[in-house]
Amino acid sequence: MSKYKIISVANKSDIPKQYRNTPIGLLLEYHNLNRPFEVYSEAKLLIGMCMDNRKHLHMPDNFSFIIRSGGANLRYSEFKVSYAISVGKVRHIALIGHNHCGMVNLLSRKEEFISGLVNNAGWTKESSEEHFMNLALMHEIGNEIDFVMSETNRLRERYPKINVAPLYYQVEDNKLYCIKADRAKKSNS
């Protein structure tokens, strides 16, 4: 059983208090609640999300910097995160994981990965296998929700003045959900 709870955002009062009246709350309103778009001349938010093509966010132009990386893994994009904070002056990060992520259980995709590089990119089988074996474990995220929470905690520790929100994108309904620790389950363990 997961130690985290997924919170639906179907109206403004569902947005957790710490995100209300912030760019994170606005993202939830724009995407889930069809809030009318405002005009932005500079980014208010950094979004870290998976490179998966099934996800599209409903938000105004210029509202956010977006870093797309497999599994919403920002470990290897930290300079870009620091740039958005320092030069872009954002104070809020929305880290968005999603269900059915391809970065979960990468070992099960080993043969597909190798044959895909051989057939589509012209690699040799040996170089494809070496590439997979050298990098797959670095990019494996395990459970999507657990990973988003661990990455959120890492970013909060690294950037203590930045408001980092763990969010979850449900592919089937194209909605964003908030993730929070399930206190009841946590206390029973």
- Provide the token pair at 22: 């912030």
SS3 17: helix
Q: Is 98 known to sit in a ligand binding site?
A: yes
E-only strand ranges, 9-162: 45-49, 64-68, 92-98
Reported residue count of the chain is 189
Q: Would the annotation count 31 as a binding residue? A: no
**Residue with structure tokens 């599994």?**
71
What is the rounded CA–CA span in Å between residue 168 and residue 73?
Answer: 14
Scanning the structure block, which residue is given the tokens 């209300």?
20
Whose tokens are 């740039």? That residue is 83
Q: Which residue has the tokens 């969010």?
A: 167
Q: What residues are designated binding site?
A: 98, 101
Q: What residues are designated binding site for Zn(2+)?
A: 98, 101
